[in-house]
Amino acid sequence: MAIRVRVILVPLDFSKHADSIVEWAAHLAEEHQSSVVLLHAYHLPVEFQQVEGTYLPADFWNSLKDEAKDQLTLYGDRLRRRGLQVEELTREGYPATVIEEEAERLHADLIVIGSRGRSGLKHLLLGSIAERVVQKSPCPVLTVKNAHL
């Protein structure tokens, strides 16, 4: 049985591990002649939205989206220089849900995502986007744990 990986979805939060995540995805894309879709999901936690007197500048969301697009373009250009076909997407919403929806919509064959490796109380309180994606993804998920290549 041959494994076909045509579309690789790469969610990025622009953490210090993003370079490693993109490198893993690029390596696999070169190996399988896949296209790469870079995705950034942004959202404002409900807790923040419910704080009385919270004020967000009128252009807050546009600014956030523009910054994300600029960051994705940097990664996308790097992959294009390697001869890869790349698409860049920004979406507002809870990251795990957005990732699952985009994987479904794109018919992704693989998701390459970072995992910060939280444990104990931090994991209990903050949860893990990667863990939720692994549980609900419509396709296989490769988690990149840290910057070691």
How far apart, in Å, are the Cα atoms of 8 and each of 12, 16, 33, 50, 79? 13, 21, 10, 36, 13
Residue 116 included in any domain: yes
pLDDT in tens, 74-133: 999 999 999 999 999 999 999 999 999 999 999 999 999 998 755 555 444 445 888 899
Number of independent structural domains in the chain: 1
Of the candidate ranges 35-44, 118-127, 133-142, the one whose mean pLDDT is the lowest = 118-127
Distance of alpha carbon 110 from its chain centroid, rounded?
A: 12
Q: What is d(CA 29, CA 18) in angstroms, rounded to the nearest whole number?
A: 16
Calculated CA dihedral for residues 82, 141, 94, 145, nearest 10 degrees? -80
Output the pTM of the full model.
Answer: 0.85
Q: How far apart are CA 106 and CA 104, in angstroms?
A: 6
CATH number at residue 22: 3.40.50.620
Return the pLDDT at 126. 44
Would residue 104 count as lying in a domain?
Answer: yes
The pLDDT assigned to 119 comes to: 55
Whole-angstrom Cα distance, residue 61 to residue 45? 13
Strands 35-42 and 141-144, by their bridges, are unpaired
Which of 47, 67, 41, 30 has the alpha carbon at shortest distance from 133? Answer: 41
What pLDDT, on the 0 to 100 scale, is given for residue 145? 82
Structural tokens at position 135: 């549980």
Distance of CA 30 to the CA centre of its chain: 19
Amino acid letter, 117: G
Q: Can you give the residue range of the structural domain that contains 80?
A: 7-144
Q: With respect to residue 149, please indicate whether it lies within any of the assigned structural domains.
A: no
8, containing H or E segment = strand 7-11
